[in-house]
A and B are shown apart, each in its own frame.
Chain A
Amino acid sequence: MTATKSPKIFTGTHGPDDGAGEATPWPDDVPPDQDDTWYPLRDDPWRAKRMEYFIAFLWVIAGGCAVGFVIVYLLGGQAELEGLLLLFAFGLLGTGLVLWARNLIPGHDVIASRGTDHRTSDPEERAAVVESLSRGTDAMMSRRGFLVKKVLVPVGGIFGLAAIFPLASLGARPGQALYHTKWYKGARLVTEDNVALHVDDIMVDGIMTVFPEGYIDDPTSPVVVLNIGGDPIKARTGQAGFEVISGANGIVAFSKICTHAGCAVSLFNVLSMQLICPCHQSTFNILQDAAPAFGPAPRPLPQLPLGVRSDGYLIALSDFIEPIGPGFWNRSGD
């Protein structure tokens, strides 16, 4: 609010009890003698002039900043300078506008009636509009609305449903897509640089992300393969023997797609032998067959059955025995 207020608006003719039961010192209807042309510096032309010059000064600087922006742009552009110059260009423009409005422009503290346009209409108008509406509905709903209720609405519904069907073109049906990955019997484990993993390639307590050979870009197939050394692994039903023991190495592989919401389980806590998903902190105990230890994941990470080829390369013995990743309505199994 401005510091000085218009003296003309407050007529103060009403006392503590103006008979309306509301003890306000000011009238609550529109004061008839509001001065709509008053502004704070109207009666001080010298200060008004100085204010105008000051506003002009601000605006000229703002214009200069805009020119500066153009120059920076032509010279090759530089993000911080561009931002700074735009900040001042707009900011000074706005400051000038505010000073102008608050000091040199009328229209503050005006009181007006809320008027009749939003208030409700009078009863005749309300009755008349019902008449206009029922002129139509009476005719359209003949014979207790047979045509509309029993025929048009159901047919309209059918139209609506039919119109939705072209949207089905947007997508393929899931089919078996959620049940299988690209892992197959005999697939070598390869890194993202297409280097196949030998059974001795991972050191104890080491971890790598691998893909089936030939399918490095497949989004369902990323697998984390770990060397857990001599630690025993407690397998779930159906997944016994999926690991490869070779000398001091114990190689296990799990799907990297989190069973909670599908992010890559990319964090590895070697001290607690846990895989942690960074998205929602689902934690899986590697030695308990990647069973969830904490967090919202409801199911263990599926384990990939591993084998060793005669030339020492790690291979998958088959696809996972259950769907990987987050759950879905028809998902059966564990």
Chain B
Amino acid sequence: MSTVAERSAARKRAKLEQQALDWADDRFGSSKWVRSALDKIFPDHWSFMVGEIAMYCFVLLIATGIYLALFYKASDAVVIYHGPYKPLDGQSMTEAFASTLNISFSVRAGLVMRQAHHWAANIFLAAVAFHMCRVFFTGAFRRPREVNWVIGVTLLLIAMLEGFSGYSLPDDLLSGSGLRVVFSIVQSIPLVGPWLAFNVWGGAFPGTVFFARLFVIHEFLFPLALAGLLGGHLAILWHQKHTDFAGPGKTEHNIVGSRLWPQYTIKSTALLMFIAAVIFGLGGLIQINPIWVYGPFEAARASAGTQPDWYVGWLDGGLRLWPHWEFRSFGHEIPNPFFPGIVLPGIVFNVIYVWPWIDKRLFGDYEEHNLLDRPRDKPLRTAIGVAALLFFFDLTLASATDLIGNALQMSFELLIEILQYGSFIGPIVGGIIAYRTCVLLKNTDAHPIQRPVGGIMVRDARGGYHTLGASHDGHNGSEGHEGNGHDGNGHDGNGHDGSAHSEGTTLERAAGPHSGED
């Protein structure tokens, strides 16, 4: 029930809105586009927010990054430190390191900004990785979204490099050791390695010009690339519309969710606020990258517990796990770091890049899809994804063998050997388990956590046993068709509960659900 005052205010507001939109339309002919934008629908599943989380982390990274860039000195010049942090007083260090100390101790709110920036980077990469997994396991990369997948993988790659270059800027002992390793990996490339490494560093490691260059890369080249690719990523998503899980009323040809204006705008802004809250909260309350404890980088020094940030961990672990092989003949050699440092990520990223086309071949599915798979709907893809994740997890653990060995009082040699075998045994075993779990879940249509998988056994009056609840209505693999109206509660489209079927079963069947049926 609106009052007279409210109605008159609404009319005035509508008049203003009309004037504003007409002004734009006079110049841009924008009414149609603006209307379609305002009315646009975004599906509401929680997992679709993760990409947005990544995007907002990027926004905050730019904001805090600009602030930091105003105080950071990208210089290899050596200075003697005289500042608030007394343990380093009188120590010689590069201006890069000294300016980072300055930001942390002398610039008001500098430490919060610096730590918020570093936390945001870690969360950014976690969100990107999670988002990529969500897209992978739900088959959202399928036609017509293959190009967006390629853009997304490129975003991941550049984000990893951006993060690495960012935490290397302070020139502390920890990140400097990482740069030394990267120099050696570049140097190990056959034919051009040393030339390329000397080219990028402007001479032998660590050189005298590197931080100015790293600054350009981190502040300018990569952010430009990220922003441009992100723009393309969002534009394609906007144009093609977001995918959605199958559900009641959802088909390949409609879209169900919240309108962009005002619902989604407000909720998305709220998400930005929450991310900012978390990132600045972490930035102020939880210490990260205390470079003053590590000290400035010196080539003659390296500390135990030298690990990269988590998203580079798999590469570092690969370097630790790869056996000590090196190939030499005719006065030339292919040095050891080349294989885990160049070949491994090369293979990994190439496979990830072309996955949409591998997926097409694997499932013989060249159709367009707007409805998502549940992971159980494609057991093979889920198994491969799980295997890949276990591989990366094994390698990430390997990057912390000294820390884990210390915590568990185990020798790091034993740990490394376990992880070497685990790097292929783990994925194989995990993949098989994932595959069978998916097949099982498909057949019973149960939720993996909320409902027990399998059947409920009852004994009838004559003493025989029957299994309830093992329904085969969830079986749709042979039709290759997602939109059959199943929701997550074991109800099929007719509103029947899966347990309506009871089958006269033998004891063997009652002992477990069907297997071997895809």
> In chain B, what residue has the closest Cβ to A210?
B300
The 4 closest A-B pairs by CB, nearest first: A83-B284, A327-B335, A94-B273, A171-B199
- Looking at A82, A95, A256, the one whose CB has the most chain B CB atoms below 10 A away is A82
A24-32, A130-138, A304-312: which lies at the B interface? Answer: A24-32
- Could you tell me the distance between the alpha carbons of A259 and B85 in the complex, rounded to whole angstroms? 35
Which residues of chain B from 279 to 319 have a CB within 8 Å of any chain A CB?
A: 280-285, 299-306, 316, 319
**Residues on B close to A: CB < 8 A?**
1, 39, 41, 44, 108-109, 111-112, 115-116, 144, 177, 180-181, 183-185, 187-195, 197-206, 213, 239-241, 248-259, 261-264, 266-267, 269-274, 276-278, 280-285, 299-306, 316, 319-326, 331-337, 340-341, 370, 401-402, 412-413, 416, 483-485, 493-495
- Among A73, A257, A280, which residue has the most Cβ atoms of chain B within 10 A? A280
A327 and B306 contact, CB distance less than 8 A: no
Residue from the set A83, A90, A209, A266 with the largest chain B CB neighbour count within 10 Å: A83
Q: Are B264 and A262 in contact (CB under 8 A)?
A: no
Known: A171-B198, A279-B302. A98 touches B270 (CB 8 A): yes
How many interface residues does chain A have, given as a range? Answer: 35 or more
The docked-state distance in angstroms from the alpha carbon of A299 to that of B335 is 10
Cross-chain contact of B177 among A23, A73, A279 (Cβ < 8 A) = A279
Among the listed A16, A117, A211, which residue makes an inter-chain contact with B494, where contact means beta carbons less than 8 Å apart? Answer: A16
Contact A278 B402 (CB under 8 A): yes
Where chain A touches its partner, the secondary structure class is loop
Instruction: Give 28 pairs: A residue, B residue, CB < 8 Å, sorted on A.
Output: A36-B259, A82-B109, A82-B112, A82-B284, A83-B280, A84-B284, A84-B285, A90-B280, A94-B272, A94-B273, A101-B266, A107-B261, A107-B262, A110-B259, A113-B254, A170-B200, A171-B198, A177-B198, A209-B300, A261-B337, A266-B301, A281-B413, A292-B324, A295-B416, A325-B184, A326-B187, A328-B188, A329-B191
Assess the A278–B300 pair: CB atoms within 8 A. Answer: no
A108 interface contact, C-beta 8 A: yes
A260 to B316, CA, bound (A): 12
Query: Contact: A97 with B270, CB < 8 Å?
Result: yes
- Which of these, A81, A93, A112, A332, contacts B331 with CB under 8 Å? A332
Question: Interface on A for B, CB 8 Å cutoff?
Answer: 1, 16, 22-30, 36, 45, 73, 76-77, 79-84, 86-91, 93-95, 97-98, 100-102, 105-115, 117-118, 167-168, 170-174, 177-178, 192, 209, 211, 219-220, 222, 256-257, 260-267, 277-283, 292, 294-299, 325-332
Query: Is the pair B284, A296 in contact by a Cβ cutoff of 8 Å?
Result: no
The answer to whether A26 and B249 touch across the interface, beta carbons within 8 angstroms, is yes
Contact in complex: B271, A278 (CB < 8 Å): no
Q: Are A113 and B253 in contact (CB under 8 A)?
A: yes
Choice from B274, B302, B332 contacting A263 with Cβ under 8 Å:
B302
Closest Cβ neighbor of B336 among chain A residues: A298
* CB of A109, distance to nearest CB on chain B (Å): 7
Known contacts A280-B319, A328-B193; A110/B258 CB under 8 A: yes
**Nearest Cβ in chain A — how far from B371, in angstroms?**
11
CB distance from A211 to the nearest CB of B (A): 7
Chain A residue numbers with a CB within 8 Å of B495 are 25
Closest to B304 in A: A278
